[in-house]
Structure 1
Amino acid sequence: MFLTQDCDDLELSEARAQIKDFGESWQPELVTRYELNTPEPYRAPESMIAKKLQLPISYPADVWALGCFVFELYGRMDIFGTYLPGYDGVFATMVHCMGKPPAPWWDAWEKREKYIDDNCNYVRKGKSDPTPAEPDTIKLRVLEQIPDHRAMDRFPEEKTFVPEEELQDLAAMLMRIFRWEPEDRVTAEELISDPWMQKWGIPAKEAMEVAYEKRRKEHEKPPFLSKSVAVGLAVGAFDRLAYILFLLSPTSWWRNLKWALGA
């Protein structure tokens, strides 16, 4: 997608979803891990304190990453995007948007005082920002940031705007995903029956697969034969034709008749 054309110009018939793990997947039932190599904007918050608090990372981290990815598809931005450096900056944005994490997490965050104060306001130049922070929640980011971004000049076509019902369903689903405690998040199995998945996500995936298959068949080249196979078939056809002509030739017919009569 990045090597051929802009994703904004990519049609459903040209896209095909694939899952890649880049060698990073593991089975939490068999292997205990306390760190994630997931890109920082998609990284679940438990990775910040997992090693210190000895909290093994498991499947809820994948659900979190999925929520980040879905939001980016709509908004062309990270839901926890920030100008602050490193994963501490991303974590601070989570706090600003979702409120304080559980007390053990809050206390285990070593660089907290450099990024955010006890009121969940950003720290700038070593001091709490006196400017009251604007209300900021997961729901507001979905209902306001996505339409605002798509209304920009780079998205002039009507087809790029998202229906209000779809945005509401998306916000509701992401609010089930973005929970501090991993056990409080919706599971992958539960997501399948989520209204957004049933009304928008799964139908879009199925439509993409149908469009892709249709385009593939339209552009499918006729099957070709290797040179050796083609020559073999040609020789075989020539032999059969020669044999038929031999049987139909007058001399062959008369010779076969004489043989049959015992002459």
Structure 2
Amino acid sequence: MPSNKLHDPEIMISDYGTAFIVEKTPSSTLYTSALYSPPEVLFNEPITRPTAADIWTLGISLYEILGERPLFETISSDPGDVIGDIINTLGRPPERWWDSWVRRSELFKEAGSWVDNFSRISTPEFRPLRQRLWEMGRGETDQTCEWDVAGGELDALEGFLRAMLAFEPAERPTVNQLL
């Protein structure tokens, strides 16, 4: 049912595939789909800030709810393809990930642009977050966009999501900061 047809809906998110007591964080395994997993999981780093991992996934979910489509639009849920679309959307990751990513040269040129004729991602052209948000607003001009562009709504949403989707877990806001 389309969301505009619902009356007084209640949205409940119970977990993102793995639930655990925060003080007993698993060392490295989350059972969250690659499309919702934070980059530290995709790059096989230990989970040192579990609430930061949830903030990442919340940002992905928020985009999907508002945009009525996934943020990362890979054809597969292969972690390498997801990493490629994350970089396409958010830019180059920290150097330790960029340098260690085995499939990097398969998908990107050294400067960070797509390798020509890359076809496994459904949107092989460069589509940064700002462009995806603009397309979500379904308008061709500031006046026809559903976002109040002049009033700063698009900038505010982009800043909110970028904070949640910071590559480094320590840079993501807490729930209280988001509120």
Q: Check 1:20–1:179 CA distance in 2 against 1; reply closer, same or farther (3 A cut).
A: same
Q: Are 2:33 and 1:39 equivalent residues in the alignment?
A: yes
Q: Check 1:121–1:81 CA distance in 2 against 1; reply closer, same or farther (3 A cut).
A: same
User: Which blocks of at least 5 consecutive residues in structure 2 are unaligned?
Assistant: 119-124
Instruction: Please show how residues 76-87 of structure 1 align to structure 2 within 5 Å.
Output: 76-83=68-75, 86-87=78-79
Q: Are 2:96 and 1:104 equivalent residues in the alignment?
A: yes
Post-superposition offset of 1:82: 2.5
Aligned residue type for 1:17: I
Contact 2:25–2:50 at 8 Å: present in 1 too?
Answer: no
Aligned residue type for 2:175: A
Instruction: Please show how residues 2-21 of structure 1 align to structure 2 within 5 Å.
Output: 6-8=1-3, 10-13=5-8, 15-21=9-15
Provide Cα deviations, 1:64-111, integer angstroms capped at 9, x if missing partner. 111111111121111222236612111111112222211211233222
Q: Are 2:132 and 1:141 equivalent residues in the alignment?
A: yes
TM-score, normalising length: structure 2: 0.77
Q: Check 1:31–1:69 CA distance in 2 against 1; reply closer, same or farther (3 A cut).
A: closer
Identity rate, percent: 23
Q: Following the alignment from structure 1 to structure 2, what is the Cα–Cα distance between the partners of residues 55 and 20?
A: 20
Alignment match of 1:113 (pick from 94, 105, 120)? 105
Q: Check 1:82–1:169 CA distance in 2 against 1; reply closer, same or farther (3 A cut).
A: same
Contact 2:92–2:98 at 8 Å: present in 1 too?
Answer: yes
Contact 1:88–1:111 at 8 Å: present in 2 too?
Answer: yes
Alignment match of 1:123 (pick from 115, 132, 152)? 115
Contact 1:115–1:122 at 8 Å: present in 2 too?
Answer: yes
How many residue pairs end up in the alignment? 168
Q: Check 1:27–1:106 CA distance in 2 against 1; reply closer, same or farther (3 A cut).
A: farther
Q: Following the alignment from structure 1 to structure 2, what is the Cα–Cα distance between the partners of residues 22 and 42?
A: 8
Contact 1:179–1:185 at 8 Å: present in 2 too?
Answer: yes
Partner residue in 2 for 1:185: 172
Q: Check 1:22–1:62 CA distance in 2 against 1; reply closer, same or farther (3 A cut).
A: closer
Contact 1:45–1:180 at 8 Å: present in 2 too?
Answer: yes
Post-superposition offset of 1:162: 4.1
User: Which blocks of at least 5 consecutive residues in structure 1 are unaligned?
Assistant: 1-5, 127-132, 152-157, 193-263
RMSD: 2.8
Post-superposition offset of 1:161: 3.7
Q: Following the alignment from structure 1 to structure 2, what is the Cα–Cα distance between the partners of residues 100 and 167?
A: 22
Q: Check 1:91–1:18 CA distance in 2 against 1; reply closer, same or farther (3 A cut).
A: same
Post-superposition offset of 1:22: 7.3
Q: Following the alignment from structure 2 to structure 1, what is the Cα–Cα distance between the partners of residues 22 and 96?
A: 23
Q: Check 1:36–1:123 CA distance in 2 against 1; reply closer, same or farther (3 A cut).
A: farther
Q: Check 1:61–1:180 CA distance in 2 against 1; reply closer, same or farther (3 A cut).
A: same
TM-score, normalising length: structure 1: 0.55
Please identify which structure carries the higher helix content.
Answer: 1
Partner residue in 1 for 2:121: none
Q: Following the alignment from structure 2 to structure 1, what is the Cα–Cα distance between the partners of residues 99 and 16?
A: 33
Q: In terms of Rg, which structure is larger?
A: 1
Partner residue in 2 for 1:95: 87
